């Protein structure tokens, strides 16, 4: 019955570049120390289910319905999956009731944050577009301003159908019923002071829980909401992302910060899809120019008119977007020319304004690292002097994001294998 989930919660892999220490890097996907939620208490709660499998056995992550046919979840839950591999169950507290009550809906499209990658826990957010509109209530989302007004120590509530067993040496216990637990918000300073993976937490995430342990989210709760009471209204403050163990001492649960992503969420729901940032890797320092083309797709139900409003460290090559009416399903491109004149990390960018009400202009970036041609070229007869030194610099630049996360593949609710 639960073999699938047990398999999905046991594997680890790590690049040889960064040693894996179980005490520090066993980040799990993780309700411990809580109670059963009342039926219908969290009407927007969603369960992500393996397509074609019953809801209890097929459940692997949570989510929250935010309206307009979209479910908010964690990127690591869906980043390595196709839309036809997942279905969403809404309107149930007991997963075994799903054939009789609630709604089970296929997925039209998956939108994973463009800056998320499988080697990191940063930008752990995704949207699921459903094939049809459900009849459940819509969740309220916290804004960045809301997050700033929630005090350290304030009670948050997290819910899910995840593992109830905190002891990793015992068999996991996945419930049929939805569970919830209250945990306090932890300051960024306190969370980072734990060191290890916690030291690198940015504004895109926050911590909650008890330093003494005992209460926490656990495997299978990934992607689900953590909420706070805003004068009688519950708003989703975060998304279950990762943690070290479940309800362990000196370890907090980590949650993607919904308010940090409010503009990204609005853009996706408005149908504006593009790659916010593209990493070009190492480029040769030279007097000749490089070129790059940005592509913007309009998946809004209405037409959109874009306008190129700003260039950063670049000159315009060709603008096939500005002042043109881009209909639903259409796309346009902007090409730029840029130079790489110095060592180290650099970026170029464009800013596009538009006529979509309520959505900020878009910033699209390219990132790259400048290096001399002689140091890039691999000489089979070389002893590795300059190249070896620059490889160390390169790892220091692009590997710094990986070193604190290693190449962790066990996160809340799903095991991921990296190439």
367 DSSP β-pair partners: 279, 347
Beta-carbon neighbour count of residue 296 at 10 Å? 23
CA 31 – CA 163 distance, rounded (Å): 6
State yes or no: is 124 an active-site residue: yes
CA 37 – CA 85 distance, rounded (Å): 28
State yes or no: is 222 an active-site residue: yes
Q: Which tokens hold the place of 288?
A: 């000749």
Catalytic residue, chosen from 25, 27, 59, 76, is 76
* CB contact set of 33 (below 8 Å; sequence gap of 6+): 166, 181, 214, 215, 216, 247
Q: What is the maximal distance between C-alpha atoms in the chain? A: 71
> Which of 258, 260, 259, 264 lies closest to 277 in space, CA to CA?
264
Beta-carbon neighbour count of residue 357 at 10 Å? 6
Beta-carbon neighbour count of residue 320 at 10 Å? 15
CA 26 – CA 20 distance, rounded (Å): 9
Q: Which tokens hold the place of 106?
A: 């296929």
- Of the chain, the end-to-end C-alpha distance in Å amounts to 29
CA 377 – CA 226 distance, rounded (Å): 50
Q: Which tokens hold the place of 39?
A: 């039926």
Beta-carbon neighbour count of residue 63 at 10 Å? 31
* Burial of residue 100, with CB atoms counted within 10 A of its CB: 0-12 exposed, 13-18 middle, 19 or more buried: exposed
Contact (Cβ atoms closer than 8 angstroms) between residue 349 and residue 338: no
Catalytic residue, chosen from 28, 98, 166, 222, is 222
Contact (Cβ atoms closer than 8 angstroms) between residue 118 and residue 78: no
Catalytic residue, chosen from 124, 146, 197, 204, is 124
Catalytic residues, by residue number, are 76, 124, 222
């Amino acid at each position: 019955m639960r073999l699938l989930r047990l398999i999905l919660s046991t594997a680890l892999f790590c690049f040889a570049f960064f040693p894996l220490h179980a005490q520090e890097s066993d980040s799990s996907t993780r309700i411990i120390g809580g109670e059963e939620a009342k039926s219908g208490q969290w009407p927007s709660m969603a369960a992500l289910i393996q397509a074609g499998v019953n809801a209890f056995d097929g459940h692997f992550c949570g989510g929250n319905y935010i309206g307009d046919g979209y479910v908010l979840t964690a990127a690591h839950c869906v980043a390595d999956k196709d839309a036809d591999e997942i279905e969403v169950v809404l309107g149930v507290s007991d997963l075994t009731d799903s054939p009789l009550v609630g709604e089970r809906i296929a997925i039209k499209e998956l939108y994973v944050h463009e800056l998320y990658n499988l080697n990191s826990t940063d930008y752990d957010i995704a949207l699921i577009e459903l094939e049809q509109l459900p009849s459940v209530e819509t969740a309220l989302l916290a804004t960045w301003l809301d997050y700033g007004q929630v005090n350290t120590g304030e009670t948050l509530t997290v819910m899910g159908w995840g593992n109830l067993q905190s002891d990793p040496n015992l068999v996991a216990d996945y419930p049929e019923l939805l569970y919830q637990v209250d945990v306090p918000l932890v300051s960024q300073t306190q969370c980072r002071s734990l060191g290890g993976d916690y030291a690198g937490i940015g504004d895109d995430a926050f911590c909650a829980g008890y330093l003494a342990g005992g209460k926490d989210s656990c495997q299978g709760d990934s992607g689900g909401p953590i909420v706070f009471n805003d004068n009688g209204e519950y708003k989703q403050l975060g998304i279950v992302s990762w943690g070290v163990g479940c309800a362990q001492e000196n370890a907090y649960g980590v949650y993607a910060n919904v308010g940090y992503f409010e503009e990204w969420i609005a853009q996706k729901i408005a149908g504006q899809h593009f790659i916010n940032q593209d990493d070009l890797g190492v480029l040769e320092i030279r007097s000749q120019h490089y070129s790059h083309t940005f592509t913007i797709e309009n998946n809004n139900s209405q037409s959109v008119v874009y306008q190129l409003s700003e260039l950063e460290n670049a000159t315009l090559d060709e603008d096939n977007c500005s002042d043109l009416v881009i209909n639903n399903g259409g796309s346009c491109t902007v090409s730029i020319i840029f130079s790489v004149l110095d060592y180290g990390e650099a970026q170029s960018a464009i800013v596009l304004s538009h006529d979509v009400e309520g959505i900020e202009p878009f910033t699209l970036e390219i990132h790259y690292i400048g290096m001399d041609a002689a140091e890039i070229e691999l000489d089979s007869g070389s002893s590795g002097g300059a190249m070896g030194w620059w490889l160390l610099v390169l790892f220091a630049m692009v590997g710094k994001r990986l070193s604190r996360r290693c190449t962790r593949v066990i996160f809340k609710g799903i095991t991921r294998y990296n190439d």
